[in-house]
A = this chain, B = another copy of it.
Amino acid sequence: MRDQALGYALANENAQLEELKELLSIPSISAQPQHKSDIARAAQWLVDHLRAMGMQRAQVMPTAGHPVVYAEWMGAGKDKPTVLVYGHYDVQPADPFELWHSDPFKAQVRGQNLYARGASDDKGQIFVHVKAVEAYLKAAGKLPVNVKFIIEGEEEIGGPSLDPFIEQNAQLLASNVALISDTGMPQPGLPALTYALRGLCYMEVEVTGPKRDLHSGSFGGAVYNPIQALSEIIVRLKDERGHILIPGFYDRVRPMDDDERQSLGQVPFDDETFRAEAGIPATWGEAGYSVLEQITARPTLDCNGIWGGYTGDGSKTVLPSKASAKISMRLVPDQDHEEIGQLFRDYVTKVAPPQVQVKVKSLHGGRPAIVERNSPVIQAAAVALEKAFNRKPVFVREGGSIPVVSTFKRVLGVPTVLMGFGLSDDNLHSPNEKFYLPNFYRGIQASIYFLDELAQG
C-alpha cells in the first residue's frame, strides 16, 4: 500500500504542481475584507478537491469569522490511529506589489522554487499532506490510518474563531495525533522536527503622570514625566544581558538536560547568517546560552511598541499626561502565560515611580508547547523524514508560537507533530514568497511514510 502510494506520488509530480498553482491563484487574504469572496472560493476549492480524491464528509464549516474546511477518511477502522492534519488556506496580503518579480497570485516556477503568496505559508505545506493522502486513495483505494483534515482561514489574522470551533467540534475532531506543516528546515536537504514552541504573554503598560498635557516651560522641573517613568519601568525589567528581573519569572522554566542541549547543538546555525538577516553588527543575549538557544529555548522579553507625547514633526514643548508601551514575553515550557502576566503586573506596579499611576493590561496570551522527543509519534515522524530525505532529521525548538498546538493538547488531548518543509529564505509575509519544490515532493513522500509508520505503531 505504501509503495503504491509512493509510486503514484512520484508519477504525478506535474499534476501536483499544477493543482497547487491553481490553489495559489486564489487571493485568499484573510486580513482584507475585499477578499472575503476569495476566502470562500479557496475553502470551496479545497472541499471540492478533497471530495474528488475520495475524502468523506468534505465540507465548508462556518465559524464566527472565516470558515473551516473539514474532511475525513475513517476507513482504517477503530484499531488504527486517527491523524488530524491541520493547515490554513488563508494568506498574508501581498503588498507592496511592486517588489514582486512575478504576480503573487500567478505562481511561477523559477529554478527550483515556486513563487507565489502562500507558496510556503501555508498552501504549499498543507498541500503536501493532501497529495500524500490522495496518493494512497488513488493508488491503493485506502489509507493505513484514519485521517481528518482541518484547514482554517484565519491563521494570518490571529484566528479568533478557531479555538471555539475546536471546542465545539471536539467530538468530530477526536484523534490520536495532530500533524502540522507550517514550520521550517534549517537548510535544504536537512529535515527537521520541531518539538517545542514558545508561548506568549503580551501586555500593555500605560503610565499617567499629570492629568492633562502640560506646558514643559511652566511645569517642567516639578512634575514627574510619564515617559521618564515608563523608561525606568522598562529598564528595570531586564539586566544588561537580557536576563529578566521579574521575581519568579523563571520558576517554571523546564531545565534543558545535557542530552537536549547536545541535540540542539547539532542543528546547523550560522551566527553570521543570523546577523545578516537581522541586520545587526553583533548578537547579544542571556549569558550561558547559544544564540539558537536564546531565540528558541529561553524565555525573552521585548518592547514591541512605545508611544507618548508629541510625535509629529518639529518641536512641541509638551510635558505629556500619558506614555504607553506594548511589552511581550516569549515563554517556554512550563511557564503559564496567565501566571507570568500576573507576575509582570505585580512587578511593574512595584517598580513604577510612586509619582505616576500605572495601568497594566493583558492583550494576548498563548501557552508554550513541547512534545517529548522520545514519544512514539515523534519517532515515527523521524523515521519517515529520514526515509524521504535520506538524512536523519534534527530536533529543533521554534522561537515563535503556533497557538493551535496547545489548543489541540488542551481540548483534544493530542500531541502535535511539527514536520516543516519551509526554508529561512522563503520570504514568508514578504514579497517573493516561495516554496522550494524539492521540499514539496519529498514532503509528500515523508507524509506517505509517516502515515505508514503510524499504522505500524
Q: Give A residues with C-beta under 8 Å from B.
A: 158, 198, 200, 202, 209-212, 214-225, 227-228, 230-232, 234-235, 238, 242, 274, 278-286, 291, 294-295, 298, 300-311, 314-321, 323-326, 328, 330, 355, 363-364, 398-401
Minimum Cβ distance to chain B for residue A335 (Å): 14
In the bound complex, residues from chain B placing their C-beta under 8 Å from that of A219 are 278, 295, 399
Residue A302 contacts which of B216, B232, B300, B330 (CB distance < 8 angstroms)?
B216
Contact B363 A314 (CB under 8 A): yes
Number of copies: 2
Known: A231-B234, A319-B302. A221 touches B330 (CB 8 A): yes
Residue A400 contacts which of B215, B231, B295 (CB distance < 8 angstroms)?
B215
- 24 A–B contacts from the bound complex (CB under 8 Å): A209-B280, A210-B279, A211-B279, A211-B280, A212-B279, A217-B399, A217-B400, A221-B242, A221-B298, A222-B278, A222-B291, A222-B294, A228-B303, A230-B231, A231-B306, A304-B309, A305-B309, A305-B316, A306-B307, A307-B308, A307-B311, A311-B326, A314-B363, A317-B400
In the assembled complex, the Cα of A234 lies from the Cα of B242 at a distance in Å of: 18
In the assembled complex, the Cα of A400 lies from the Cα of B20 at a distance in Å of: 67
Most chain B CB inside 10 Å of its own CB: which residue of A281, A303, A309: A303
In the bound complex, residues from chain B placing their C-beta under 8 Å from that of A284 are 222-224, 355
Interface on chain A toward B: helix, strand, loop, or mixed SS? Answer: mixed
Known: A328-B216, A400-B215. A311 touches B305 (CB 8 A): yes
Which chain B residue has the least Cβ–Cβ distance from A326?
Answer: B310
Contact A309 B316 (CB under 8 A): no
Residue A326 contacts which of B242, B303, B309 (CB distance < 8 angstroms)?
B309
In the assembled complex, the Cα of A330 lies from the Cα of B218 at a distance in Å of: 10
Known: A280-B223, A315-B363. A295 touches B218 (CB 8 A): yes
Contact B355 A227 (CB under 8 A): no
In the assembled complex, the Cα of A230 lies from the Cα of B284 at a distance in Å of: 16
Residue A223 contacts which of B224, B283, B309, B328 (CB distance < 8 angstroms)?
B283
In the assembled complex, the Cα of A330 lies from the Cα of B219 at a distance in Å of: 11
Query: Beyond A210-B278, A219-B278, A222-B295: 5 further Cβ-contacts under 8 Å?
Result: A223-B284, A230-B231, A306-B307, A306-B309, A310-B326
Contact B306 A308 (CB under 8 A): yes
In the bound complex, residues from chain B placing their C-beta under 8 Å from that of A317 are 200, 202, 304, 328, 400
Minimum Cβ distance to chain B for residue A359 (Å): 16
Which chain B residue has the least Cβ–Cβ distance from A308?
Answer: B306
Known: A231-B235, A364-B314. A320 touches B300 (CB 8 A): no
